[in-house]
With several copies, the nearest count.
Chain A
């Protein structure tokens, strides 16, 4: 069974060659690894490869086939690209488009102040909305010149992470 796995910007081709209990042979981009892989009771993968001991924790995202992987040294974004994922990707509908027409906050918080109204003309860099979270205020400005098309929140609203707050035309 061979598929592609995306790790940050890299796309790797992965293939399971053989398995006997917890001893696996896996090929990654042409390199064959013989690993002793255990899923420990506290939810971490303990992998021993050529004597080296690795601990990897996978935190699954809400989107299927996506993980944040934590190694002892860093955190990495991982995505499984199987046939289904490739199909969706080709259709351009995997839910992620770089949209310069919306303002959203990467974290949950509260709307402190909206500085514009629907229909206002705004200039690139103009501050549109102030969000507070954990006692810190963040100002969000227009990514480009435009007209405020829609404001989805009002002062004092509690917001989710990645919620679209303001839409520009």
Chain B
């Protein structure tokens, strides 16, 4: 295949910018697409070119295959990177790219179909000798069918979107009475997120660890894994914190699971970057859960410990190049943690908190990386995901990484909307987390401690003073002739910071 010179990024938000950064480093031109809500979004401003593709709901823009293909052809893009979410695991989209002679940066449509359908994926893995979680072999059509399956494999079970991923369209069912509502909700979410409402049922494993392996496979039969990511800290079945290495992992298990991951990739002739998700129980049994045939949100922690730019590798593989390294060249150096910053209210059931960003201070310095996309004054649209940034740290040891994450979260300030920052800070101070003792139920199990904010009595009085002085200054401005308060020196006042338009 030929060298890629211009890439259309069929995505928005932090991942669009993440991909454009690597393109820029490779001297590849970038084409952004945007919906009505995203005209002033940062990915539009970062790209070399930008084209409007439709109304704000993603079904009318970021999921509009033909419109995106049109833009790619008209702008002369020779490749499309789908990011994650949206069309990233849409086989039809990958097929249409290929038909139009545009390189799809990802696996073949056939593999996407096979792994995207969670049921077919389970079948393929079973054939390759990789353990899977007990569950239905086929999609369930009706709530009645769900009830009968549940009677067979026993409660609790997970109802999952067949086309799913990222925690969308997933419901845990403990009691029979919940089945109908849960199936409806899962279907509805699945429909909205993936345009396909079929769901299936899996046995629910107690106290599971969600551990995934990053793989890279080229078109020449070479495949490697880039070790694990521990993703068990979740809220509402969505990941919140990821780390590598996993505190649960042993070298023996790592080798075994890594081998399984590479075998899984080879079993389906996978090409590109992909992730094999496993559930691991407390006895260190592991089960194939699903394969994500795209870049993961949490890919930066793997980049940090291995030193490999995964987007760069995706592009090279899409160009038809051979992998430059073998399994023996890869090492995990130190420890990396990612915290996802959501615009949401952790004190109110993680309710999304869209709105206008007031002020941002990014954490900087040694061992800190942020991948975000919002800026001061930016209004977070209600139409898309509530994740506004990812904070990734590295430390020589897990302890150093936790301390650094604590410091970085302390420095990270986003106001105007509610965010998960303070909640993440509390997790970094949680004894069980520090000891590496957690599973996917961590947040429920530790909710009492996680609800407590750090007390600061002095701060309270100082806050009162600040508000009081601000108030005095404001009334002072209203009563120009009756000055009873001369405001303290302020550099701000004379600063023509804002280019008023």
Residues of chain A having any CB pair with chain B under 8 Å? 1, 3, 5, 7, 10, 12, 14, 16, 19, 21-22, 24, 26, 28-29, 31, 33, 35-49, 51-60, 65, 67-76, 78, 80, 82, 106-110, 112, 132-138, 158, 161
Contact = CB atoms under 8 A, between A and B. Distances in A.
Contacts of A29: 461
Contacts of B31: 51
B256 interface: no
A148 B44 CA distance: 45
Given A54-B459, A138-B351, A59 B499 contact: yes
Contact of B486 (A14, A19, A44, A54): A19
B462 A47 contact: yes
A53 B50 contact: yes
Contacts of A65: 471
Nearest to B417: A107
SS of B interface (majority): mixed
A131 B356 CA distance: 20
A40 B192 contact: no
B468 A107 contact: no
Contact of A70 (B343, B415, B471): B415
B110 interface: no
B40 interface: yes
Contacts of A22: 39, 488-489
Contact of A37 (B44, B185, B415, B466): B466
Contacts of A68: 415
B477 interface: no
Contacts of A47: 462, 465-466
Interface of B: 31-32, 39-40, 44-51, 75, 168, 185, 188-189, 192-193, 236, 343, 348, 351-356, 358-359, 375-379, 382-386, 410, 413, 415-416, 422, 453-454, 456, 458-472, 484-486, 488-492, 495-499, 501
Given A53-B45, A133-B352, A134-B352, A42 B376 contact: yes
Contact of B466 (A48, A56, A72, A135): A56
B468 A14 contact: yes
A38 B49 contact: no
A41 B464 contact: no
A82 to B, nearest CB: 8
B348 A106 contact: yes
Contact of B472 (A16, A31, A76): A16
B13 to A, nearest CB: 12
Given A46-B44, A59-B499, A75 B32 contact: no
B463 A110 contact: no
A136 B467 contact: no
B466 A59 contact: no
B431 to A, nearest CB: 19
A11 to B, nearest CB: 10
